Amino acid sequence: MNTEELKQTADALMAGDKGLLAMDESLNTCNKRFKEAGLPQTEEYRRKYRQLIVTTPGLAESISGAILFDETIYQSTDDGVLFIDVLKKAGIIPGIKVDEGTTAMPGSPDEKITNGLEGLDIRLNNYYGLGARFAKWRAVMTIGKNLPTEANIQANTEALAKYARLCQEDDIVPIVEPEVLMDGDHTIERCYEVTENAIKELFKQLEKQGVYLPGLILKPNMVIAGKDNHHKNSTDEVASATVKCLLANVPHEVAGVAFLSGGQTPQEATRHLHEMHVKFGKELPWPLTFSFARAIQQPALDIWKGKDKNVKAAQDMLAFRASMDSAARAGRYSVDLDRYPVL
């Protein structure tokens, strides 16, 4: 474990007003998004789409690192340049999703556990050789009647900590993502309680595994009510609950915190991040930024429609959304700023 290299990578990922772009949808998730957008669910279309993303002009102005999926790390542009090399040339650090998705938890089938620890050391070694310098592992926790169970939180956070330790052994910065899902009609208070439990337990497990916190990034959900809850909390309420929960439970030593968007609209996710900076900017002990997938990509995907003639417009939209998130991180986002020129 080279702690100096780990810290350097983690700090570079958290630098400036930038954030991360999650473009690591698994085959299933990517195909699901393509299906919803009426696109063919083939390897070639996934390649074309990821090509669109990595070749977006100006992306590096707002994005410090991009998380790839296994299929994508081996893919190239039409001209035969590996995507990973396109990113590096642009000054974007390549990362890789290394979990192997979720399955129903034995004994509690409404909950999920994440797979992928077996053989992970060998895969990490290979990814480092290919140029990846950070990784991501996502655990999901479901809020429901009597859910999540203690056992689920325990199993998910233990796996996250083991993964983080293995990453650091290979000088790869781990992003740990304990995602409390927005599915359901729960209140913001309930989300707070579950998020707090998950993060508390996660840091206990990370300590047990001897994980080096300055070389680690936490990717949490924002503290927000469930999608089916009709009461919409204000931007201020979401920002305040989220920062309060993080301040109380995330050690100051971590390299940074980078949110997932979790099904919020791009504007909601951006507004919430902005509000956190405006209201709490000076109190934050770690960099606080974004690691969005849908909140950056979805509008661009909708424009692309699988057609070459739409690539430029889709890229413009992608760069625009990323720039809004960067503005939010700097606390200089506004609804007026977020007016995309003619579509």
| Residues labelled as active-site residues | 177, 219
Three-state SS annotation for 11-42: HHHCCCCCEEEECCCCHHHHHHHHHHCCCCCC
Nearer to ligand 13P, 99 or 316 (CB): 99
- Looking up tokens 């053989």, which residue turns up? 119
- Count other Cβ atoms within 10 Å, centred on residue 84: 23
- Residues lying near ligand 13P in the complex (CB under 6 A) are found at 22, 138, 177, 260-262, 292-295
In the bound complex, what is the minimum distance in angstroms from residue 292's beta carbon to ligand 13P?
4
Q: 72 or 261: whose CB is closer to ligand 13P?
A: 261
Distance CA 223, CA 190 (A): 9
Please report how close the Cβ of residue 177 comes to ligand 13P at its closest, in angstroms. 6
1 or 37: whose CB is closer to ligand 13P?
A: 37
Q: Give the contacts of 7 (CB within 8 A, at least 6 positions apart).
A: 212, 214, 215, 255
Residue count of the chain? 343
For the bound state, the minimum distance from the C-beta of residue 4 to ligand 13P, rounded and expressed in Å, comes to: 27
3 state DSSP class of 187: coil
| Residue 132 CB, nearest approach to ligand 13P (Å) | 15
Backbone φ and ψ of 74, nearest 5°: -95, -5
d(CA 69, CA 27): 9
8-state DSSP, 106: T
Q: Which is nearer to ligand 13P, 3 or 115 (CB)?
A: 115
Which residue lies nearer to ligand 13P by CB, 163 or 292? 292
Rounded to the nearest whole angstrom, what is the least distance from the CB of residue 50 to ligand 13P in the complex?
A: 15
Instruction: Measure the CA–CA gap between 30 and 53, rounded to whole angstroms.
Output: 14
For ligand 13P, the closer of residues 69 and 333 by Cβ is 69
The CB-of-309 to ligand 13P minimum distance in angstroms stands at 27
Q: Can you list the alpha helix ranges (DSSP code H) found in 250-293?
A: 266-280
What 3-state class would DSSP assign to 168?
Answer: helix
For residue 138, the 8-state DSSP code is: E
**Which DSSP string corresponds to 52-94?**
HHHT-TTGGGTEEEEEEPHHHHT-B-TTS-BHHHHHHHHT-EE
Least spacing, CB of residue 342 vs ligand 13P, in Å: 26
Element (H, E) at 8: helix 3-13
Q: Which is nearer to ligand 13P, 134 or 292 (CB)?
A: 292
